[in-house]
Amino acid sequence: MMRSAGIKPGTVVGILGDGQLGRLEIIRNAHLGLSFAVLGPGGKSSPAGQLASWVKPWNRRGTVTERVLNEFCSQVSVVTIETESVSLDLVEQIEAKGKRVYPALNVLQIARDRLLEKQFAQSLGIPVAPYRVIGSRADFPLGQHTVAKRSILKTRCGGYDSLGQVVIPGGQRLDNAWQTLRRVPCILEEAVDFAYEFSVIVFRNEAGQVLIYGPFENTHKDGILDVTRYPARPKLSEDALERAINSSLAYAKEIAERLELVGILTIENFILENGAVLFNEMAPRVHNSGHLTMDCFDTCQYEQYVRAACGLPFGSANCQHAGVMTNLIGADIEQVPKLLTRDVKLYLYGKSEVRPRRKMGHYTECIPLSCV
């Protein structure tokens, strides 16, 4: 098995994807003396591209020319992932050049497909919401064109921040929703009456050491993460909260070990009132809900990820503060002047165009642990 590169003077880490997650990965690993080479759709004007030592855009298929591929691979020691939508062809081409990509191809193949990730969770005995595969009209429930219960039709691939999803009220037509999603392969998931949403971030290195952050308690608005709190303190009974936390952590560890993960994986779960946990989905990358680790933990998610990918020991996982992270979405960016006068940690992503539903930045309020 090819080993990770470690860190030595001049080490360059590759990033596939050039958004704000890549930007923060660069910022929060600069103290390690690393440089970063970035491939993504936006090029030099992208959030990560603005800070990278080398950056080139990929084409509409998510691939690059042989010249660009060789230039990228000739300088990087190891490659990280910023988006699960990365082309698997590109990952295979990079690995064929002798460079390791973390998480590896086997993890990406599962974690980018809502059907495969649910099937994988079920194979481990982890419960999921009721669902069925939709690939043609023959897959409609009982051959009918309406759903009996409120459901969500989700594309198998390519969805995030509620993109690639259509909510279908009970009694409404399924074929209309499927047409909205252009009749691509989907899953039809029965809507869950959950009480809370948790996320857990798990790191694993080549030596098999596992480190887990979370669970984080998440609140969404219009399908986009709005606020994350840590520690999670939902209004559940003591027994239900203990069950929810323990199950969330155990499921994350089991998934990481069975996948033989190297790098990072984020697991998102639904929490029921009795503390039962239903697996929702996973992402093979750093996560929006982990932003607050930059200010509340000794070592943030971005550094732990790079440490795992580079074969370095994990940093201290000690939590110094509780925290509340709030996203700045679209016109929320207008709050910046006021936020600059508050005792919060503010991060802006270098995006020049403000659009509805676009993540422009975030801020974190640190709270003494004794107050939670």
> How do residues 247-257 score in pLDDT, each as one tens digit?
999 999 999 99
> How do residues 257-286 score in pLDDT, each as one tens digit?
999 999 999 999 999 999 999 999 999 999
User: pLDDT-based confidence at 164, cuts 50/70/90?
Assistant: confident
Q: Is the same domain home to 252 and 150?
A: no
User: pLDDT-based confidence at 1, cuts 50/70/90?
Assistant: very low
Q: Identify whether 61 is part of a domain.
A: yes
Q: How many angstroms separate the CA atoms of 320 and 369, rounded?
A: 7
> How do residues 308-337 score in pLDDT, each as one tens digit?
999 999 999 999 999 999 999 999 999 999
Percent helix, strand, coil in the chain, to 5, is: 30, 30, 40
Q: Is the same domain home to 164 and 200?
A: no
Lowest mean pLDDT among 76-90, 159-173, 207-221, 330-344: 159-173
Residue 238: give the domain boundaries.
Answer: 196-371
Domain count, the chain: 3
Q: Identify whether 344 is part of a domain.
A: yes
Beta-strand (E) ranges in the chain?
A: 12-16, 35-40, 54-57, 78-81, 101-102, 131-134, 151-155, 165-168, 186-190, 196-204, 210-221, 224-230, 263-271, 277-283, 322-329, 345-348, 359-367
Q: How many angstroms separate the CA atoms of 88 and 329, rounded?
A: 30
Q: Identify whether 5 is part of a domain.
A: no
User: pLDDT-based confidence at 144, cuts 50/70/90?
Assistant: low
- How much is the mean pLDDT over the chain? 94
Q: Identify whether 115 is part of a domain.
A: no
CATH assignment of the domain containing 180? 3.30.1490.20
